Structure 1
Amino acid sequence: MIVVVTPNPALDLTWSLPALERGESHRVAAGHTRAGGKGINVARVLHALGQPVLAVAPCAVAGDGALFSDDLRTAGIPVELVPVHGALRRSVALVEEATGTATLLNERGSAWSRTEIASLVQATIARLSDARVLVVSGSLPPGTPDGFVGSLVRKARRQGVAVIADVAGPALREAAHAGADLVKPNAVELVEATGAADPADGIRRLLDDGARMVAASFGADGLCIARSEGSGFEAVSARMPQPLRGNATGAGDAAVASLARDLVDGVGDLATLARRAAGLSAAAVLASYAGEVSSTYPALISEAIVAPGIPRSRERTPA
């Protein structure tokens, strides 16, 4: 089983419109509402793939908390919800139909008390006895104490559970220092966490910190999987032959789902890890909402172009 913890979940609101014009009024069809947050998206993809998964998240006892919990249960996703006070944050996506460009408005969320954060950690650790992989994914609530992510990583690894951390900022370095099996920054997060403008330097710093593998994503340029090799590192990249037109909001979460499933299956070949992650990520771009993947993902996986090293930049003209 894979346990996925989402420290700062959200109620995702998505509207589609022909084009977004700044400063103008737009008439749109009814929006789409669902439980979200990066970890919830990962759990949705794993559930859709038939992978045993448990989503762990705090859930507001008032306001939108009922909508959040009801949506997960209606979707059939096994959940462990930790009651917290304070409002559930909202994430708004405005998706332009012509290009698939998504404009996101992400609330920061409410600050949970130390007792509530401790309850979330306890609920997560209690579920690890049946787990092979723990995924910690998404932003952290305001005021989360330093050491939250590192503590989860160390506790899980002491139980023999592999850990994937898809977090940002200092928490990313924290996860690496704690010995996470894989950390997954995007291009911006890689620079912010490490201070390195060169992706190779950033990846090297995370590996030197103690991460066993780094999966760095670069949008339409693809992704790479790297691990230490001698005094340097070995990296393999994968991307689609052409950029895809669609909503890329949940693409990184689909890649994390692919990597988590492969860790459960014991896949260690970097090329296989990269190919499958790139293909499933592409399938998320072709889906309507974050947390979904197109049924064409097997074909997309086979089409992914795999090469040694870090992806090179290319023009991002959708095809």
Structure 2
Amino acid sequence: MILTVTPNPALDLTWRVDRLTVGATHRADAGAARAGGKGLNVARVAHAQGASTLALTTAGGRTGIAFSAEIAASGVPHRVVPVAAATRQSVAIVDEELGDTTIINERGVNPTDPEWAALFGEVVDALPSARVLVISGSLPPGAPESFVPLLIGTARDAGVPTIVDTSGAALVRAADAGASVLKPNAAELVEATGIADPVDGARSLIARGAELVLLSLGADGMLAVTASDVLHARLDAPLAGNPTGAGDAGVAACAVLYADGVRDPETVLRRATAWSAAAVLMPLAGEISDDWRTLGGRLVVAPHTSTLREDSP
């Protein structure tokens, strides 16, 4: 089973407009609302691909009611810890003409200590059935610094590998705690490490204790960085579409393989890059196109060089 933890979930709202103009009034058809947050997107993708999953998260307030109803209707196995604060919202505005997506994320509200303890208790209860633990998404302001390392250490004691997709200081703490896989994007890596070169930044996390860093590079694909090797995977040509959730799909691919006992970095990199690309073709996060195998056949995989394509968006 793939066990995902989303410590800062969101009710995701998506609207599509003909052309987004700053300062203007726009008309749009009814938007889509769904339970979101990176860990839930990971669980959705993995579940849709036939993997056994359990998504753990929180919900509260009026937005939490809509959030809980939507995740229940999705069919994704889950447990929701009630919290007092309202679940945050994330707004995505898709520009149909340009194919760009503008995202506004509320920061979220920090749960109380008993609420954090309840979420941790759900993880402890579920770990005996888990093959991999995924900790994914941001942490709300004021969240306990010990939470992510505690989850990683608890999973390690249970013999369960961990995949962490977060940002800021929490990413460094996850490396220090010995996460099996870290999955930042380039901006998150620089923010967390202060190192401009992506390979050097990733290797600094390896030196701290992570085993593998999967580094998202947008249209330039993905790097897989270990202590000894750096591989670069990208499509033969860029894709147009909605990149929201592409990184989550890559995490889902990694989680499915790790749950099956696959640890080979190149195999993980190929699947993660293909699923990330397949997510770009879908209108909402948490979904991938059935064409992911075809996309996988279009991948160019080679040892990393410092020159990336100049056609990245």
- After TM superposition, the score normalised by the length of structure 1 is 0.96
Please, which runs of 5 or more residues in structure 1 have no aligned partner? none
Between 289-298 and 260-269, report the one with greater CA deviation: 260-269
Aligned partner of 2:311 in structure 1 is 316
Q: CA deviation at 1:219?
A: 0.6
Aligned partner of 2:288 in structure 1 is 293
Matched position secondary structure for 1:175 = helix
Contact 2:199 2:225 in 1 (8 A): no
Aligned partner of 1:55 in structure 2 is 55
Q: CA deviation at 1:73?
A: 1.4
Contact 2:220 2:312 in 1 (8 A): no
Contact 1:235 1:270 in 2 (8 A): no
Between the aligned partners of 2:310 and 2:200, the Cα distance in structure 1 is: 23
Change (3 A) 1:118 1:310: farther
Please, which runs of 5 or more residues in structure 2 have no aligned partner? none
Between 177-186 and 300-309, report the one with greater CA deviation: 300-309
Moved segments of 4+, more than 6 Å: none
User: Match for 1:243: what amino acid?
Assistant: P
Contact 2:5 2:136 in 1 (8 A): yes
1:1-319, aligned counterparts within 5 Å? 1-60=1-60, 62-229=61-228, 234-309=229-304, 312-316=307-311
Q: 1:121-153: per-residue Cα shift (whole Å, max 9, x none)?
A: 111121000001000000001210111111110
Between the aligned partners of 1:181 and 1:310, the Cα distance in structure 2 is: 24
Between the aligned partners of 1:288 and 1:107, the Cα distance in structure 2 is: 21
Between the two proteins, what is the percent identity of the paired residues?
A: 50
Between the aligned partners of 1:64 and 1:43, the Cα distance in structure 2 is: 20
User: Match for 1:29: what amino acid?
Assistant: D
Change (3 A) 1:154 1:311: farther
Q: CA deviation at 1:20?
A: 0.6
> Aligned pairs, how many?
313
Contact 1:275 1:304 in 2 (8 A): yes
Q: CA deviation at 1:237?
A: 1.3
Between the aligned partners of 2:109 and 2:257, the Cα distance in structure 1 is: 34
Change (3 A) 1:56 1:317: closer
Q: Please report the RMSD computed on the Cα atoms of aligned residues, expressed in angstroms.
A: 1.2
Between the aligned partners of 2:306 and 2:81, the Cα distance in structure 1 is: 40
Contact 1:253 1:281 in 2 (8 A): yes
- After TM superposition, the score normalised by the length of structure 2 is 0.97
Contact 2:218 2:312 in 1 (8 A): no
Matched position secondary structure for 1:299 = helix
Q: CA deviation at 1:311?
A: 7.0
Contact 1:221 1:312 in 2 (8 A): no
Contact 2:153 2:177 in 1 (8 A): yes
Between the aligned partners of 1:10 and 1:23, the Cα distance in structure 2 is: 26
